Every structure is written in structure tokens, then in C-alpha cells.
Structure 1
Amino acid sequence: MPKGTKFHFSNVYLISGLATLGGLMQGFDVASMSAIIGTQQYKTYFNKPGSVLQGGITASMAGGSLLGSIATNLTGDRFGRRDSLAIGCVVWIIGCVLMAAVQNVAMLIVSRMINGFAVGMFSCQAPLFIAEISKPERRGRLIAFQNWMIGWGTLIIYFISYGTSFVDGNASFRIPWALQMVPAIVMLACIPFMPRSPRWLAAQDRWEEAHDVLASLHAQGDRYNPLVLAEMKQIKEKILYERDTGSTSWMELVKAKNVMRVQCAICAHLWSQFSGNNALMYYIVYIFQMAGIDGNRQLIAGAIQYCISVGVQVFSFTFMDHYRRRWALMAGSTLLLTWLFAAAGLMANYGHTVPGGLNGVPSVTWVVDNGAASKAIIACAYLFVASYQLTWGPIGWVYPSEVLPMYIRSKTTSIGVGVNWVGNFALTFFTPPAFQNIRWKTFIIFAVFNATSLVHVFLFFPESKTKTLEEMDEVFAQSIWAFKIKHTQSRLVEDVVEVQKNVGAAAADVEQQFEHTAKDASVRYKEL
């Protein structure tokens, strides 16, 4: 590191892990309600909230996240990705303090909205930050790590909540709600030692700092490493080109050259949400009650589902950069609609109505008493979460970060994540009344959403695997129809060769600098 440069971590995996603590907190927020709403302590203290009120309590987090995703557009461009994460940590800690001290439903809703505001900031800035510090061949798995941390968050807080469910009184839910602040404290303490995004630094004309950070992250501090020089060349060309041909106004998002990229980024978030995963995970206890699972068995069944989610994601982020985004999304939509239709069919054929709701829970008005059918429904739930976490779960966050140019990246990501949280709010609010009124038909609605996403991805989502962030212009310039676009190798390897020649380096070293490329570095458009 050059003399006078402030110390920061240089291990990209460590930095990405710290950035994705925001995902851990998002997972906390999901499971801290799903594990607690079925406990007697919660129902007694908050006077057994009805389906609409419970939907409002749960959805309040998504409402706050919408506001946070909008606010982060201002902080992301002005203060940078790293400092936006710091602001999110402070907001999260405030929300956790209020949530742990909650006195009534109104205070619970407000505290969850504050926590949601922080989650909205994390969900926007963490994927962007990771995308902008990563090499193309590692970018997918590192961003997917964010989704894995969401899974870990749900699992950890679910088990904590399960343990505290045996504690008498309101301490059973205050303890897990207070413990949620721990990751924010750790992250806030480490942020001063995390580098700023080199692409954000370059956009601020802080070229030397950007060069230093890239060298530290990708070449152990060697500013003259051919890969670093090639990346700096691409970043500089792209930023200067964008300044000459574009602007930073909101109107850039609807210009012809950007509209396809914007709709891809936004709709990736939309379909990830409307797949039904988050809405169903919030109310997994209700689903298992509908399947005839009661008492502690439903909490154990829910814990198994969260374990599957975390376990599957190990495979997902490990092999993320070995399979194409486009085909994985289409496979995911197909599998998800299959499990949803299967669960709906089983409930329709083997269930019956429960007037007034099961055990005083107004949202559970349909129950399956057949043992084999109940097990099959639970199997569908497990297969659903596994399929989601292999496909839409991680790629729904990776893909938007890969398809956008720098000058509209923050604005579009803000809108995309905002749409995500609008969908989250609507579906989270809608699900309890839907279970109460249309029962198993709720699953059919989500299945139709997945069928629609399958068609949309096939028509309009081009492949982004292995491309640098600066090369996606060429991809979208080929055609508006994604199925007509040819997937090609990244140009970065050629730039490395050119730089090596200029600095007198041996061309044989190219593969060591850019490990995923083909042996023949001179072939620019070889199809995979």
C-alpha cells in the first residue's frame, strides 16, 4: 500500500462478509416475527392480533425498507456505499432498542419500520458495494453471500426465539429482539477499516485512491499489475463516456438506451418477491398449522426449513459463477410454480374448513388431517425453499447489480429495491387475510406469478455471467429479445494482454491474472 494511504482490509472475502452483515440483520427481522407470532406469550401480550392487524405488524418492516431504499439513493451517490452502510447500522441499533422496549402494538410497528429503514439501506448498498470491489469471475458468489447471510439470520434468530419461547412472560420475545443489534455493532466497528468502492471513488474524480484500492483488492497492492491497469482503463473509459453522453438525472432511466436495463434490474427484484418465498417464510408457522402440524412440532418443522435454506445456499454461492443467470432464473420459476400447484392440490383434496380459525388463530381456517397429505405438503414447502435459494434467492440480488451502468446504478437499484419492498409490504399484508378467506388458493396466485416471471425472463433477460460491469452496454445493444443475444467472453482478458505488452510482461501470465478465461486469450467472442 502506498505511503500515506489509510489502512484498510484488502481481503475481498472478508470485506464482502462484513458488508453482508446487513443481510444477517434482514434475516433477523424476518424470523424474529415468524418464530414468535405463534407463541402464547406474544398472543397474550399483544391481545391476539387479528389477521389484518398481524399483517400490518409484519408488513411494517417492508414499509420502512421502502423508505430506506429511497433514502439510500441520496446517501449512496453523495457519501458512498461504505458510509451508507454505516448510517444503516446506526438506524438499526435505534430500532432494536425500541423494539426490545416495546409497550404496545403501535410502538412495535414504529420500531419495525425503523429497522426496516435500515434493511432498505443494506439491501441497496451491500450488493452494489460488493459488485464494485469484486473481480468478474468472483462477483456472483460474493453477492450471493448476501442472500446466504439472510438465511443465516433467519436460522439464528429462529433458534434463539425457539429457546426463549420456554421463558415465561414478555422476556420471551424481548430477548431475541434485543440481540438483533449485535451484528450492527460489529459492522459499525469494522466499517472504518473497509475500503471505499473504487468505482465510486473514480466517479468522484479520486483516481489515485481508486487505483490504490483496486491494487490492494486485486493485486496485493501492486499498482502496476496488468489486471489492475486493465480494470482502471475500463473504468476510466466508461465513466468518461458516460459523462460525455449521459447525465445523472432521473430522466436517464427512461431513455431508449437504458430502459431495457432498468426494467431487467427492477423486475428481477419484483419477481424475486412475487415468487412468494418471503411472504410464505414470514407465515411458515401458519402453513404448518394448515398442514396439521401443531405445538412445538411446527416450530421444529420451521427450523428444518431454515436449515435447508442455509444448507442449499452453500452450494448456491459456491457454484454461482459456474452457471448462467438467465437459465437458472427460468429453472427456478418452473420449479417454484410446480411445488406451489402441488401444495394447493393437496390442500384442496385433503383439507377442510375450520370456522373461526384453528386454536383462535383467525388466519388458519383450513386444515389437512390426512397424515400422508400433511407430509407431502411439508415436503413441497422444503422443496420450494431449496429451489428458491438455488435460483431466485441469490440471483435476484446478483443480476440487478450486473446489468446497470455506473451513472444510473444507484438510482435504478434504489427503485428496484423499493419495488421489492413494495411487493414485500403488499404480499406480507395480503397473506394472512388470504389464508383466512381464500385458503389454499393463495398458493395458486403465487404459482401464476412464477409462470409470468418464466415468460418474462425468457423474453427480456440477457445473460450477464462473466461480463465486467463496463461491458454490459454491448450485450444490451445486440437486441431487445434476450433469446437472440449471444453470450460471449469478457473483453477484459484482451485488455490485460494489451497492458502486459505495453509494460513488457509475458502474455503467458494472463490466465493467472484472470482465472476464468479461455486458454486462447485472443478469441474475444467465443461462445460458451
Structure 2
Amino acid sequence: MARLLNVYTISVFVSLAGLLYGFEISSMSGILDTEQYKNYYGNPLGIRQGGITGAMGAGATVSALSSSLLGDWLSRRVTIQVGTVLWCIGAALQSSSTGVAMLCIGRVIAGLCIGLTSAMVPIYQSEIAPRKIRGRVVAMQHFALSCGILMQYLIQYGCSFLDSQAVFRIPWAIQAIPAIVLFIGLFWLPRSPRWLATKDRWDEALKVLAFLRSPDGDINDPIVLAEFKEIEEQIRIECEDNSSSYRELFGKKMRKRLFLAMSIQMFSQVIGINMLLYFVVYVFASAGITNQRLATCIFYIIFIISTIPTILWTDQWGRRSSLLIGSLCLALSMYVIGGLFARFGEPNPIPNQPYTWIIGENRVASRFIQVSLYLASSAHAMTWGPIEWMYPPEISPVRIRCKAVALSTATNWIVNLGYSLAVLPLLREIQWRLFIIFGSSNIAAFIFVWLRVPETKQRTLEEMDEVFEHGKPLWRSFLGTPYAGRLDLLAKEFQERNHRGIQVDVSDEP
């Protein structure tokens, strides 16, 4: 009988932080076109609305940069708890805001939570997961994010029938509930065994690893001893290097991995899906879709459903091939959307609208745009969405993992902030050409992945040096370097020792 608390249930629970991230993404989409919101906040358009939306990204950028200090000092688990407290404060300020300034302050504080949790949760999940299911475990973060987007949107849709300020105040207040649950529940979850090892708390690290890997928590289980030995050797090698962790981070050996992690996060933003997640209701309206709320709801449902195959099979598909296929599908979708708007669109005759280009009475073009938007949602959810969170923590050594992920996550939020500020003005000024830019960004992402991104599936976190130093051009090793089986060999040797009755000491070389 499976234990209630295991790697899967722990990962699902800590993914409540992803739910908060999803709430943030759709926190504006369901209320942007309500009269109550427009009247109370002065009908913000263009850069003003972009500033409100992007305020959370500003807070997330700051906290993502500081997450490495907190994550290494307080532990991954406690840092996530700090984030939940900040989220509750931000939700309270947003739901009680008396103007745009107070609303932005609340979103900045809530953004501090998102920056911390979006960096720490993938690290925590990566460090507790076995190599064979690490992708599946981290993908749960993206699934929770997808669920959060839809849940918040449905709450906003239900409140849109109210004839008061509750239209936007109730959805923003409800956001605090999962944060409270996550804060309390984290007290019962184990700390990361790799973080414990970096603090020389080896006995605790071994016990946690045994709890996570062995059904009965046996510290003499060969699999437990083998992985513990790998962690021990990796930390010993890192400690023998007298350079500081910051010098190592920007050193010749690691700066390529840092650049890679930051690039993956950057491309995940510029390929255009976040613009749709935030403002797809405007795109549907511009395309002439009459029931934009229903169309947006379907868009988010597809986003959730499409994440499920990734959870089930990403450790078989691999990261590299998924990113390549995702880039091509997204490029096709964006080019089709831009092309249809260019061919069948016309200037919007109604002034003071977020969009200045519309599809008139051409139902066929409208439906093709709608289908293309759904394809983009599905393609991103199966590829770039989950993998952008898997890749940075798994390619970074434990000594610099928090710092590398902090910089990559900050890159995500810096670009996110820039897009939040720029997308709505661009949608008004260059109309359909914005989608051509997104399509071209996907082609650039495809080329980058083909030339620079190695495959990491099925490898332990301690084996990433082999992945990056095998010497072959990445474009000639599409499926990545084969798994060397070192962890399995170590486990077999420990098992043979146990059978011979030899006392196992994990501090000795096997």
C-alpha cells in the first residue's frame, strides 16, 4: 500500500504555489472588460493597463533575484513559506484597493511571492525527485499553474454577474486561500536532502532520502545509499574548489549553463504565449468572436488538458525534442493568426478600445484565428510551459543551483514585465504585425534549441557534467548522450555488499 506522503503527493501539494502563479496570470483577464472595473479605475488602456498588469512582474523580478540568498540560507521550504505570507498581504491590498496606485502596490507585493516560489518550487521538486520521473514531478508545477489560470477566470466570470465592486474584489481576495493552505501544510513536508547535505546535516539528509526513495524508509536500501553517495561526491568535489560560488557561477565551466538557463526562460516569454494568457480576451474580441468569455474559458481548459501528456511522458519524450516541436507549432499558429488579421482585418471604427484592428463579418477567418489560438495554447502547454521550469534547476550543480535559477527566473520576469508594458500599446499600434514578430521569435527559439540545448532526461542531477562535457556538437546528438548507468551500478554494488554481510559506510568510496 502506497504511503500518503511520497514524492508525488509532496510535489502535488507544493505545486499549490503554481496555483498562485496561475491566479496571477489570469487575475486581470476576466475583469478587464467589466464596466465596474473600468469605471472604478478610470478605464485604463495601453501603457496604463500594462503597468497594472506588469506590476506583479516588477515584484517578481526583485524577489527572484533575492531568492538564491533566502533559498540557500533558510532552505527551499521556508523560502516558499515566506512567499505565501507576501502573497496574502498582496491579495489583501488588491482586494481593498482604493485606486490604481494601491492596486499596483498590492500586485507588486504579490509579485514578490511569485518570484520566490517560481524559483524555489522547481528546485525543491527537482531535488526530491528520482531521475526517472524528475520531469513528471516538475511538470506538476505547470499543471497547477494551468489550473490556477482557469479557476481564477471562472471565479471572475461568476462574479461578473454582480452589479458592484465585488466583481473584482472577491476574486482578488479569494486568491489568499491556497496560500494559507500551502503555508500551513509545508510544516509537515521534508526539507530538500541536497540542501541538508550542503549544510553538513548528513544524517538528516540520509533519513530524508530514505523516506523519499525507500517504501519503509530503510537507510540501508541500495538505491538510497547509491544516490546519497552521488550527492556526497558531488558536494565534496565542489567544496574542493576554493573559488566562491559566485565566481564559479560566472566561471568558464558554468557560464554556458547559466546562459542556457536564462535563454530558455527568456524565449519562453518572447514566443508570445504569455501575451495570450494575459490578454487573449482582447484577441478574441478583435477577431470578431462574439462570446469572448466562453472562447477564453475554452482556451484555458485546453491549456490544462494539454499539460497532462507532458506529466505522463516528458521523461520519455525528452526536453530537447519537445522544445523543437513546440517552437514549430507555435510559429505556425502565430503566422496564421497574423496572416489572417492582415488579409481580412480592418481598422476598428470604435474609439478608445484596447485593439485597433478587427475582423469584420468574415466568420471563416474568425474561426481559423480561434482554432490557431487553441493550437498555440496546446503547443505551449505540452512543451515550453513545463520545460522552462524543469531545465534551469536540473542543469545547475547544487552549490550554485539557487543562484543560477534565481538569475534565470529573474530573466523570465524582466522579459515578462517588458512584455506586459509593451504588448497592449503594440497591439494598438502595429496590430497584426505583433503576431508575425511572435512567429519569428519561435523560429529563433527553434534554431537556438537545435544548436545549444542538450538532452537531460533520465540523468541524475549529479551527472549533468557528463551531459555538457561529452564533446559532441549538440545538433549531432539529437537524443542526447545515453545514460551511463552509474547510479544503477552503485546501487548494485551496495546490494552485493549487503548480501555478503559487509557493513556499509557511505562515507567510504564503494
TM-score bracket relative to the smaller structure: over 0.9
Cα distance in structure 2, aligned partners of 1:219 and 1:180: 36
Match of 2:452 in 1: 460
Q: How does 1:11-30 map to 2 (within 5 A)?
A: 11-30=6-25
The reply on whether 1:366 has 2:340 as its aligned counterpart is no
Equivalent residue letter for 2:358: V
Amino acid at match of 1:86: Q
Helix, strand or coil at the partner of 2:428: helix
Q: CA deviation at 1:355?
A: 4.6
Deviation at 1:247, TM superposition (A): 3.8
Structure-1 residue corresponding to 2:127: 132
Query: How far, CA to CA, are the matches of 2:411 and 2:171 in structure 1?
Result: 29
Do the aligned partners of 1:10 and 1:216 also contact (CA within 8 Å) in 2?
no
Using the TM superposition, give the Cα deviation of residue 249 of structure 1 relative to its aligned residue in structure 2, in angstroms: 3.2
Runs of 5+ consecutive residues of structure 1 not aligned to the other structure: 1-7, 507-528
Residues 304-323 of structure 1 aligned to structure 2 (within 5 Å): 304-323=298-317
Deviations along 1:424-459, one digit per CA (max 9) or x if unpaired, are 001111110011000010111111111111111111
How is 1:316-335 mapped onto 2 (pairs within 5 angstroms)?
Answer: 316-335=310-329
Q: Distance in 2 between matches of 1:346 and 1:478?
A: 46
Q: Which residue of 1 aligns with 2:393?
A: 401
Alignment pair present for 1:99 and 2:125:
no
1:108-507 counterparts in 2 under 5 A? 108-220=103-215, 221-245=217-241, 247-294=243-290, 297-355=291-349, 357=351, 360-361=352-353, 363-369=354-360, 370-479=362-471, 481-485=473-477, 486-489=480-483, 490-504=485-499
8 Å Cα contact 2:245/2:399 also seen in 1: no
Instruction: Name the stretch that deviates more: 110-119 or 487-496.
Output: 487-496
Taking structure 1 as reference, are residues 259 and 480 closer, same or farther at Cα in structure 2, changes over 3 Å only? Answer: farther
Deviations 1:386-411 (A, max 9, x none): 00011001111111121111111100
| Alignment pair present for 1:51 and 2:46 | yes
Letter in structure 2 aligned against 1:240: R
User: What SS is found at the alignment partner of 2:399?
Assistant: helix
- Structure 2 counterpart of 1:327, one-letter code: S
How far off is 1:496 after superposition?
Answer: 1.0
Whether the 8 Å contact between 1:9 and 1:195 is mirrored in structure 2 is no
SS in 1 for 2:44: coil
Q: Deviations over 1:327-361 (max 9, x none)?
A: 1111111111110001000000000011564xx32
- Secondary structure of the equivalent of 2:358? strand
**C-alpha distance in 2 between matches for 1:410 and 1:34:** 32
Residue 523 of structure 1 corresponds to none
Deviation of the 1:307 alpha carbon: 0.5
Query: How far has the Cα of 1:505 moved from its partner?
Result: 7.5
Deviation at 1:479, TM superposition (A): 2.8
**CA deviation profile, 1:276-303 (whole Å, cap 9, x unmatched):** 1112210011100110124xx1011000
Cα shift readout 1:142-193 (whole Å, capped 9, x = no counterpart) = 1000001010000001001000000011111100100000000100110110
In 2, the alpha carbon distance for the partners of 1:470 and 1:444 equals 41
User: What SS class does the counterpart of residue 367 from structure 1 fall into?
Assistant: strand
Deviations 1:19-71 (A, max 9, x none): 11111001001111111111111111111112110011001111111011012
Match of 2:332, as an amino acid?
Answer: T
Partner of 1:512 in structure 2? Answer: none
| Aligned alpha-carbon RMSD (Å) | 1.4
Contact 2:392 2:405 in 1 (8 A): yes
* Displacement after TM superposition at 1:9 (Å): 7.4
Q: Is the 8 A contact 2:29 2:278 kept in 1?
A: yes
Distance 1:481 1:278 in 2: 32
**8 Å Cα contact 1:247/1:407 also seen in 2:** no
Structure 2: distance between partners of 1:481 and 1:384: 30
Tell me, in whole angstroms, the C-alpha distance in 1 between the residues paired with 2:459 and 2:412.
25
Determine if contact 1:92/1:114 at 8 Å carries over to the other structure: yes
| Alpha-carbon shift at residue 480 of structure 1 (Å) | 7.2
State how far apart, in whole Å, the 1-side matches of 2:500 and 2:318 are. Answer: 33
> Counterpart of 1:33 in 2: which secondary structure?
coil
8 Å Cα contact 2:139/2:310 also seen in 1: yes
8 Å CA contact retained: 2:20, 2:178: yes
Q: Distance in 1 between matches of 2:129 and 2:49?
A: 41
Cα 1:141–1:279 shift into 2, 3 Å: same
Between 156-165 and 271-280, the greater mean CA deviation after superposition: 271-280
Corresponding letter in the other structure for 1:300: L
| Distance of 1:300 and 1:455 partners within structure 2 | 36
Read off the aligned partner of 2:38 and give its amino acid letter. Answer: K
Structure-2 separation of matches of 1:480 and 1:285:
46
State the Cα distance separating 1:484 from its structure 2 match: 3.9
Cα deviation code 1:194-232 (max 9, x no counterpart): 100000000000000000000011103110000000000
Query: Would the alpha carbon gap of residues 215 and 387 (structure 1) be closer, same or farther in structure 2, given more than 3 Å must change?
Result: same
TM-score of the pair, normalised by structure 2: 0.95
Identity of aligned residues (%): 39
Worse-matched range after superposition: 246-255 or 110-119 = 246-255
Moved over 4 A (4+): none
Offset at residue 477 of structure 1 (A): 1.1
Q: Which of 29, 33, 40 is the aligned partner of 2:28? A: 33
Provide the C-alpha distance between the structure 2 equivalents of 1:324 and 1:316, rounded to a whole number of angstroms.
10
Q: CA deviation at 1:483?
A: 2.2
1:168 partner SS: coil
| Corresponding residue pairs, total | 494
Report the Cα distance in structure 1 between the residues aligned to 2:499 and 2:433, rounded to whole angstroms.
Answer: 67
Inter-partner Cα distance in structure 2 for 1:480 and 1:419: 28
